[in-house]
Amino acid sequence: MQGAAVDGRSRALPDKADTSSKKARQDLPDGHMKQEAAGGGDGGAIVTAAYNPRVELAVRIDKQVLHCPLCTLPFKPPVFQCKAGHPACGGCVAQLPFGQCMACVDSGGFFDPCPALDAVVSSTRIGCPNAGCQWYVTYHEVAEHQKACPHTPCHCTEPGCGYVGAPQALAGHINTVHSAPLRAVQYGKVSQLQLPVSTPRLVLLGDDNRVFLLTVGALGAGAAVVSVVCARARAATRPRFTCKMWVNLGPPPAAAANCGKEDMVLVDMHIRSSSSPGAVAAADEPTFLPVPRMYLVPAAARDGTSMEVPLHIRIDKLSPLSDALV
């Protein structure tokens, strides 16, 4: 009998455990889910909540809420707040005498970090103001984003023209309105161009639709100079591009008389950026290709007096790894 009683208890224990492990599920009005589990002998309930993934809302907010009332710049964490509720950015609090709020009547309000405002500032994002850019940026980082945004507007510098647009739009504008030739180039491959000295600009489009402006100018008596810039915000540094440009001297017989070697003028350079690429004079660039008069060739199908630069150009887009080493 004693053995049977023990055996009976051993079979009953799992049944009791199964009963205590059953949980009631209840859907809450706000979309959360609550689970209730029967507790031990105290009869209490264990309540857990399973939350849905983060949901973003499009809202309108007073711009002043996101700006420090002292310096008027956008708030950046950490944000501080005095006992009376006056907010201030960390930079302004550090400059206040004894860290006291000057807006309080008794000047006795001390500032403390405000995690609630930090959360608001960190989660407030707006669309980039540049046309064509699809990025949503944290509000206090918009100014920095615009400096490097590939859609930052560039200016046409043709006399009397006030056009402003994204680099790709600027390329189309210069090509159609100001009749500047346009040529597609592939990164890492050599392109051969015949540049009329009388045509000062040529628009180049890279594989990624990046816009480059090739400029031809005069250098001394009869010589020419060639430079290239990338049309984008001046502060933009990524990605970086390098460029090799060169011209060869004379026809093949001249090379044969020189043991099969051709004289050439070559430049290997990093390409600068400019938001007003047309305003950059070729000879004013820190690095350019000088083309002596003897390297120029007569323009084909012209009056015989026009000259051209027989240019070879190769643009390379630096990889992220090599870019980091520059």
List alpha helices for the chain, DSSP H: 2-21, 90-95, 115-123, 142-148, 167-177, 252-256, 320-324
All structural domains of the chain with their residue ranges: 63-123, 154-324
- The amino acid at 233: A
- pLDDT at position 249, please? 85
Query: Is 325 a residue whose pLDDT tops 50?
Result: no
- Cα separation, 274 vs 153, in Å, equals 11
* 257 vs 266, residue with greater confidence: 266
Query: Is 68 a residue whose pLDDT tops 50?
Result: yes
- pLDDT at position 226, please? 92
Its pTM surpasses 0.75: no
CATH class of 63-123: alpha beta
From start to end of 40-86, where are the E strands? 45-50, 79-82
Query: Is 261 a residue whose pLDDT tops 70?
Result: no
Domain 63-123 and domain 154-324 have a common topology: no
Mean pLDDT computed over 162-184: 90
Structure tokens at 158: 């043709």
- pLDDT at position 209, please? 86
> pLDDT tens across 116-169, in order?
999 999 999 999 888 888 889 999 998 888 877 878 888 888 888 889 988 888
**Domain 154-324: CATH architecture, name and number where available:** Sandwich (2.60)
- pLDDT at position 38, please? 45
The three-state DSSP-derived secondary structure of 136-182 is EEEHHHHHHHHHHCCCCCEECCCCCCCCEECHHHHHHHHHHHCCCCE
* 32 vs 218, residue with greater confidence: 218
